[in-house]
Structure 1
Amino acid sequence: MNEFNERYDTDSVREFTVSDADAGPYALTEGPDGALWFTLVHRGAVARRDPDDGRVTVHPVGDGPTVITAGPDGALWFTEYRAHRIGRLTPEGAYSSFAPRTPEGGPFGITAGPDGALWFTLSSADRVGRVTVDGKVTEYPAPGAFPSALTTGPDGALWCTLNQGNAVGRLTTDGHGTAYPLPTEGAGPVGIAAGPDGALWFTEIGAGRIGRITVDGAVTEYPLPDPAARPHAVTAGPDGALWFTEWGGGRVGRITADGHVSSYPLSRTDCEPHGITAHDGALWCALETGSLARIEVRP
């Protein structure tokens, strides 16, 4: 168990140091126990921040834990990008992992699917996998190159960004895939989330834009004020807006359903914000330099 001190505070943003700068907090999610769980990508660990006293407990796992999500079985599930495995961790700290069928596939994104299983991307192998809570793995071809993040859509399908295919992909639970090309060349989509408006929202890290795609494939793109912002992850906030990290500018951005953009600066322009999630009525993001940032949602 480790204890760290808060280091940065403004009217809207508070930052909490949760690791040393080399550990690399990368992605985070609210766990079934109401705590905030996050990956330490360079430490080979998953950590828990207590919601009451802020204490951090670190659990060793496989190499390169990356994206994390709460599973339907009351455990935390995450990709181990460098170990090429899917990890599972109970709130009590019991760890296990499962190997995808394709070796060296580079698992990255993961989400709880609409069918009671966990779905994940194998970015290096252009495949999408499914693992049941008891460890049975199935794989399907991705609908394009380098599938990255993925989420469950309002239509009961899995939606993923195709980073090197410059497209957004849709995959049914029986493995049928469709790709929707993006209008902007070199957009490099990464993060994706279901929005409160019945559409999917995604980041274009290469183009400095936020995209929106309807379930029938209509795409709208919104340029950010800073073209070099390099938006990375995105999530739906408790206020009906979408929130995203600006990896290139050290900010957290907010976009409304009608395209109005605002942003919140973090403590350093080089703090490398990656994952973002709603938790306890606020937005939290992981800063790879060793902190978690809490952004207050104001009316």
Structure 2
Amino acid sequence: MSRARIALTVVTVVVLVAAALGGVGAWRGWFSEPSVEAAPDVQPAGVSDVVTDLRAPWGLAFRPDGSALVTERDTARVLSVRGDTAREVTVVSEARPSGEGGLLGIAVAPAGDWVYVYYTADDDNRIARFRPDQPDARTVVFSGIPKAGNHNGGRIAFGPDGMLYVGTGDAGDRDAAQDRASLGGKILRLTPEGAPAPGNPFGATPVYTYGHRNVQGLAWDGGGAMFASEFGQNTYDELNRIEPGRNYGWPEAEGNSDDPAFTNPIATWRTADASPSGIAVGPDGLVWMACLRGERLYTIKTDGSGAEALLRGEHGRLRHVAAAPDGSMWVLTSNHDGRGDPAPGDDRILRLTL
């Protein structure tokens, strides 16, 4: 066989295998490198436990009084953390934990008068809210988000405009991400009452952006720029800068694309090095990104440059990171989520001083 025919055969096999693993977007990664490769390790000034002995904590939100609310995915508990003590506030009995579903994100309205939770119910993923003094009196404000054993999205957060932003997953239906009539594979923008927010890019619909595989983190910098982390399939995880109406490419693109119809991420990682979940913008102005499979935190500038890694392999899987009122960063471990290796005292909330 000639060298030319051998080369053609090799390329054909690579493309076919890569296509089977993830389609057109995935095979690009076989011929190019992610934008973040060997991020140097750095050490925070200090690391300490806030609380221990949690079970698969997923969401965290601070209240105006400085206390924090934390969700546990599989127990469906909402916990209040004050000082070094965690106490149960309520159990969201409507949640149906299974696979990656359960009690997921939590957000506190800017005035502190409402608490919002995102959870997997019998037939869908939905959002309910309650008053802090009446945690068992919950009202569903939004429903109909597709559910599945994985790709349930789940992160919710209030933006600088006072609207509620929601990250959803494609729930295993890849084509839903490109279908603006579907709630799967989207970032949604809602009023606090759960209606499509005024000024949304596609009219009277909650869809803010589309073409997402599984949005796991939402955050804003001091100038109001929005960022989201996203699980890739086999090749690229993403950090995206979010702008209204944009198409982020899934399932046609995973990572960067040369198609001008798609908005490229500001940074990508190989999935073994990241598998990102929650993000935050810290007091240092950097995006902080918690990683599950990668078992580390990344910090990165808002233009996608200057990545550094913290806690690499030191505390197992990391689910979420949030900026605390005292200027520290709180990190949730996720070693009881069925994919980790729990150590004594897991799961825990870590406090990092900068």
* Identical-residue share of aligned pairs (%): 19
Match of 1:82 in 2: 121
Aligned equivalents of 1:91, 1:99: Cα separation in 2: 15
Structure 1: how far apart are the matches of 2:141 and 2:202? 19
1:210 aligns with 2:224: no
Indicate if the aligned counterparts of 1:143 and 1:179 stay in contact, CA closer than 8 A. no
Give me the TM-score of the superposition, normalised by structure 1: 0.67
With over 3 angstroms needed to count, the CA separation of the structure-2 counterparts of 1:178 and 1:34, relative to structure 1, is: closer
- Whether 1:147 and 2:193 are equivalent positions in the alignment is no
Cα distance change, pair 57–188 in 1 and its aligned pair in 2 (3 A): closer
1:283 equivalent to 2:332? Answer no
Runs ≥4 residues deviating over 6 A: none
Match of 2:156 among 99, 103, 110: 110
String of CA shifts for 1:220-265, please: whole Å, max 9, x gaps: 4323487531112212111111111111121111111231101111
Distance 2:78 2:210 in 1: 34
Corresponding residue of 2:48: 14
Letter in 1 for 2:240: G
1:26: how far off?
0.8
**Retained in 2: the 8 A contact 1:285–1:293?**
yes
| 1:92-107 matched pairs, under 5 angstroms | 92=133, 94-99=135-140, 102=143, 105-106=146-147
Residue type of the alignment partner of 1:56: A
Report if aligned partners of 1:198, 1:214 keep a CA contact under 8 Å in 2.
no
Q: Which amino acid aligns with 2:238?
A: R
Counterpart check, 1:57 vs 2:103: no
Aligned equivalents of 1:266, 1:142: Cα separation in 2: 38
The 8 Å contact of residues 85 and 98 in structure 1, kept in 2 or not, is answered as no
Give the CA RMSD over aligned residues: 3.8
Higher alpha-carbon Rg: 2
Superposition map of 1:184-195 within 5 A: 188-195=214-221
Counterparts in 2 of 1:15 and 1:208: CA distance versus 1, 3 Å: farther
State the match for 1:25 in structure 2.
Answer: 57
The corresponding residue for 2:106 is 68
Structure having the higher helix fraction is: 2
Residue 104 of structure 1 contacts residue 124 of structure 1 at CA under 8 Å; is this kept in 2? no
Cα-to-partner distance string for 1:125-178 (whole Å, 9 max, x where unaligned): 89xxxxxxxxxxxxxx956662366579xxxx97xxxxxxxxxxx656842746
Kindly tell me the number of residue pairs found equivalent between the two proteins: 251
1:151 and 1:192 in contact (8 A); partners too: no
Cα distance, 1:13–1:82 mapped onto 2, change above 3 Å: farther
Partner of 2:282: 237
What are the ranges of 5 or more consecutive residues in structure 2 without an aligned counterpart? 1-42, 96-101, 173-178, 191-195, 247-262, 336-346
Match in the other structure for 2:12:
none
1:235–1:278: 8 Å Cα contact kept in structure 2?
A: yes
Whole-Å Cα distance in 1 between the matches of residues 107 and 50 of structure 2?
Answer: 21
* One-letter amino acid matched to 1:68: I
CA distance in 1, matches of 2:271, 2:294: 8
Q: For residue 41 of structure 1, what is the aligned residue in structure 2?
A: 73
TM-score by length of 2: 0.58
- SS, match of residue 249 in structure 1: coil
Distance 1:213 1:294 in 2: 28
1:246 equivalenced with 2:276 (yes/no): no
Q: How does 1:173-188 map to 2 (within 5 A)?
A: 174-175=204-205, 177=207, 179=209, 188=214
Alignment-mate amino acid for residue 205 of structure 1:
F
Q: 1:171 to 1:66 in 2, by over 3 A?
A: farther
Q: Over residues 166-200 of structure 1, what are the superposed CA-to-partner deviations in whole Å (9 max), with x where a residue is unaligned?
A: xxxx6568427464658xxxx75432322335432
My pick for the range that moved more, 286-295 or 84-93, is 84-93
Note if contact 1:149-1:191 (Cα within 8 Å) is conserved in structure 2.
Answer: no
**Structure 1 residue 80: Cα displacement:** 2.0
Distance in 2, Cα, partners of 1:117 & 1:223: 28
Larger strand percent: 1
8 Å CA contact 2:278–2:320 kept in 1: the answer is yes
Retained in 2: the 8 A contact 1:110–1:150? no
